[in-house]
């Protein structure tokens, strides 16, 4: 960890230019960049001594990264990581499995191998959050009191909210869904490949809820189109992308670019279509539209389920109480500091955070250091000025072998890491190379608190 | 790029290559050392040997591109813009320069050994 950053950004007040320079997710990735977000308080040399009890709920990308950074920054803290799942999934790789590029084991490892020394891993799920009592209770009934809580539970995929849909259908009868699991991503590839051999009508969807990796629905559409083209079956196929709203991507300039690419590739677009029901036997998908429901037949359909907070979070006082995010249960945190707006000793990072942008690994990479800096500064009796600007990144695959390196922030500004070298709206091989070669090592380094 | 942090780059490459990273770094460091020692000893560049090494270097550059294509499940035919051409040139260049130096050095030390062997034999 260097502390150079900190010398010219006293306690973190980020100028836009600085924020942009820091917005180098692909840092080591391209071996050309790398702004270490290295708050002074996390320097190994001067760890903060404390007896604080810190509970981290969830050991996915955000939880593990937080654990690593806290373990680096604190000496004597009692850090407890709670998660029942033994496998760790590198979720940015799911699309590559669904594309037939990578095998299942590319994304599967174990949680235990990333748990830092000095951090206790409790192999259970949190059943109850009690922020008034400053404790969480696990499924076995054991209570874990805390001084600070980091909520990194992730989200749940609600396939059941689509009538007739069952996650066991993935891979059968032309139904694909890369989101569910590595196995489901591979089953999706088999269904997609069978479709690319025959042609027919391919239907692509996205839910009306907040979702993780909002680029994934577009990527899988582009990938399907490319496989059909490569197999000489493009003329026998119709590809229809159904957007839940009136745009293709939340960042207007990217949305326009995708619209142009879809037009160029002959991909039809329907706006304001949300998958409501599916009839696997008849291969009919029913969508809600502003004017009622609409049925679409399909030979292949890519289903992306509604997503929301896990039940214990929704049943707790932690989510937003009003507004669009209340029903889905996202955590009511400040979008700049990730600190809970009502419970100041609680932070929310990763997918569960109720912030306007980015449920991605790139967001995790930039959110966690900010939340940890605030937490550590508070323990040390100071105050952090670190701010998360909403930076996130999406290597938007537009065909096999090419992708656009789309990086943006809360304000829908493009924040390219390599301005003048890697143009954000250009389909490039170098971006694909990063996605396939460098992103996973960068991600793993992030889990270990090293990037 | 003034905030380039070598520790992050190193961490990423370590994850990417595992122990192979150290093997590669060792080859680079030892190769360069052997190359410099050879130059010091011979006090000149043997142009015949250099041309031969460059010929094999072209092969090394091509090999680097093939390797890159394999690990990235794609190829330079996917290039879509100037950044891609730059990457292709960089990969080819690295392969070319690396293998040229390596071949030149190995061939150089080989002939040095043979010559000293001959002297030893005639002595």
Q: Do B1 and A29 touch (CB under 8 A)?
A: no
Which of the residues A366, A430, A439 would you substitute to probe the B interface, choosing the one with the greatest number of B C-beta atoms within 10 Å?
A430
B49-80 pLDDT, tens per residue?
Answer: 999 999 999 999 999 999 999 989 998 789 99
Choice among A152, A157, A213, A396 that is catalytic: A213
Beta-carbon contacts of B107 under 8 Å, excluding residues fewer than 6 positions away, are B49, B52, B53
Residues facing residue A204 across a β-bridge: A241, A302
- pLDDT at A29 exceeding the cut of 90: no
Residues facing residue A227 across a β-bridge: none
Q: How confident is the model at residue B119 (pLDDT cuts 50, 70, 90)?
A: low
- pLDDT at A19 exceeding the cut of 70: no
* Dist CA A237 CA A140 (whole Å): 52
* Dist CA B9 CA A339 (whole Å): 30
Nearest CA in chain B to A429: B79
B2-57 pLDDT, tens per residue?
Answer: 345 788 888 888 888 889 999 999 999 999 999 999 999 999 999 999 999 999 99
Q: Do A426 and B80 touch (CB under 8 A)?
A: yes
Query: B34 in helix, strand or coil?
Result: helix
Q: Do B7 and A450 touch (CB under 8 A)?
A: yes
* Mean pLDDT of the residues in chain A: 91
Please state whether A90 falls in left (phi above 0), alpha (psi between -120 and 50) or beta.
beta
* Mean pLDDT of the residues in chain B: 89
Choice among A394, A422, A428, A447 that is catalytic: A394
A238-247 pLDDT, tens per residue?
Answer: 999 999 999 9
Query: B43 in helix, strand or coil?
Result: coil
> What pLDDT score does B5 carry?
74
> What pLDDT score does B75 carry?
81
B13 contacts in chain A (CB < 8 Å)? 28, 31, 441
The answer to whether residue A419 is catalytic is no
* ipTM over the 0.90 cut-off: no
pLDDT-wise least confident of A126-135, A169-178, A424-433, B112-121 = B112-121
Percentage of chain A beyond pLDDT 70 is 90
Q: How confident is the model at residue A33 (pLDDT cuts 50, 70, 90)?
A: very low
Of B15, B71, B77, the CB nearest to A445: B15
In degrees rounded to 5, what are phi and psi of residue A268?
-75, 150
> What pLDDT score does A22 carry?
40
Query: A246 in helix, strand or coil?
Result: coil
């Amino acid at each position: 960890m260097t502390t150079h950053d900190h010398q010219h950004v006293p306690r973190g007040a980020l100028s836009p230019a600085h924020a942009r320079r820091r917005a180098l997710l692909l840092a080591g990735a391209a071996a050309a960049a790398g702004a270490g977000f290295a708050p002074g308080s996390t320097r190994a040399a001067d760890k903060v001594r404390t007896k604080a009890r810190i509970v981290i709920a969830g050991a996915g990308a955000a939880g593990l990264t937080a654990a690593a950074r806290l373990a680096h920054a604190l000496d004597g803290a009692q850090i407890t990581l709670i998660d029942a799942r033994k496998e760790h999934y590198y979720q940015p790789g799911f699309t590559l499995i669904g594309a037939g590029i990578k095998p299942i084991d590319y994304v599967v490892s174990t949680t235990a191998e990333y748990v830092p020394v000095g951090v206790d891993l409790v192999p259970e799920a949190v059943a109850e959050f009690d922020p008034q009592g400053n404790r969480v209770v696990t499924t076995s009934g054991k209570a874990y009191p805390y001084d600070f809580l980091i909520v990194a539970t992730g989200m749940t995929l609600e396939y059941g909210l689509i009538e007739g849909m069952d996650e066991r259908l993935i891979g059968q009868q032309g139904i694909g869904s890369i989101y569910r699991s590595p196995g489901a991503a591979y089953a999706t590839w088999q269904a997609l490949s069978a479709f690319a051999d025959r042609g027919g009508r391919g239907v692509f969807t996205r839910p009306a809820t907040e979702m993780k990796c909002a680029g994934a629905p577009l990527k899988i559409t582009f990938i399907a189109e490319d496989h059909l083209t490569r197999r000489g079956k493009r003329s026998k196929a119709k590809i229809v992308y159904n957007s839940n709203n009136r745009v293709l991507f939340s960042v207007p300039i990217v949305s326009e670019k995708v619209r142009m690419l879809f037009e160029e590739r002959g991909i039809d677009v329907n706006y304001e279509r949300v998958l409501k029901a599916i009839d696997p036997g008849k291969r009919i998908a029913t969508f809600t539209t502003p004017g009622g429901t609409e049925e679409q037949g399909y030979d292949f359909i890519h289903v992306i389920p509604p997503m929301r907070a896990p039940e214990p979070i929704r049943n707790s006082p932690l989510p937003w109480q009003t507004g669009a995010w209340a029903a889905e249960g996202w955590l009511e945190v400040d979008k700049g500091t990730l600190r809970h707006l009502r419970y100041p000793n609680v932070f929310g990072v990763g997918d569960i955070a109720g912030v306007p942008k980015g449920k991605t690994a790139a967001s995790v990479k930039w959110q966690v250091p900010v939340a940890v800096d605030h937490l550590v500064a508070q323990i040390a009796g100071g105050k952090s000025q670190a701010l998360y600007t909403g930076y996130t990144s999406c290597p938007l695959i537009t065909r096999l072998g090419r992708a656009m390196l789309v990086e943006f922030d809360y304000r829908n500004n493009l924040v390219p890491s390599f301005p003048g070298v890697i143009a954000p709206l250009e389909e490039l091989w170098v971006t694909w190379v990063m996605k396939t070669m460098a992103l996973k090592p960068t991600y793993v380094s992030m889990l270990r608190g090293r990037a | 790029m003034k905030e380039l942090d070598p520790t992050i780059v190193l961490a990423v490459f370590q994850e990417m290559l595992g122990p192979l990273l150290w093997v590669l770094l060792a080859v680079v460091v030892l190769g360069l050392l052997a190359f410099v020692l050879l130059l010091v000893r011979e006090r000149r560049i043997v142009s015949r040997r250099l041309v031969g090494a460059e010929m094999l270097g072209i092969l090394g550059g091509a090999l680097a591109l093939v390797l890159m294509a394999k690990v990235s499940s794609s190829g330079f035919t996917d290039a879509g813009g100037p950044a891609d051409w730059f990457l292709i040139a960089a990969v080819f260049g690295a392969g070319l320069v690396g293998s040229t130096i390596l071949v030149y050095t190995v061939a150089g030390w080989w002939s040095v050994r043979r010559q000293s062997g001959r002297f030893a034999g005639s002595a």
